[in-house]
Amino acid sequence: MVRRTSWLTIAALGVVLGTLAACGGNDKAPTASQTTPPPTKTTFTESEWTVVTPAGWTRKVVTAKVDAKKAVRYSSTSGDYFIVAIDPIGSDFNPDTVWRYEVKDFRFEVASKRDCKNSAGVQCPDKDGRYDGYVLWKSGATPQKVGGHTWYFMFGNSKKASVETSVFEQIVESVRVKG
């Protein structure tokens, strides 16, 4: 009888443990997707700079289209874009807004913003169904070189006539020049 009781006790314990294991299915180790939120930003690294964009943006070299020594376009699927260009050759870019930057060590800070106003002698592209901006140096005919280069940025949306400009200000201010 003693042996039978001990086997019954062991069998009952096995049933209890099996039930607890089945009920405790939620105690599994969390997967990476459960513990790590999806990235909200992407950092792109070029030989001359790094830039941070919202997650999901892509990169494409567009030097030939931008009249610069080097230009890279970062884009979203919704039409937003941001171009980092160095050593401009010339441009006839006609923006909806012009921003000016100041140099802070090896980074840039937006110092002023001016929207295009359709007045005499000023051609504003306000009816083209998209939004374009240009970010240039703050003052002086000769821009300050940073890391041995002259910098300018273009941004906007190729599909919409309005944008959330704070996103682009954050991107401008995320650019870090390699010294």
- What are the b/e assignments for 133-155, b being 16+ CB within 10 Å? bbbbbbeeeebeebeebbbbbbb
Rg (CA), the chain: 28
Going across the sheet that includes 41-45, the strands are 41-45, 49-54, 176-177, 107-115, 97-104, 131-137, 151-157, 80-88, 68-75, 58-61
Task: Give the sign of the dihedral formed by CA 151, CA 157, CA 162, CA 167.
Answer: negative
61 Rama class: left (phi>0) / alpha (psi -120 to 50) / beta: beta
Beta strands, E only, 46-169: 49-54, 58-61, 68-75, 80-88, 97-104, 107-115, 131-137, 151-157
In tens digits, what is the pLDDT along the chain, a chain of 179 residues? 444 444 334 444 344 444 434 444 445 555 555 677 777 999 999 999 999 999 999 999 999 888 899 999 999 999 999 999 999 876 556 677 889 899 998 999 999 998 876 555 555 666 666 788 888 888 766 788 999 999 999 999 988 888 889 999 999 999 999 97
Which pLDDT score is estimated for 83?
95
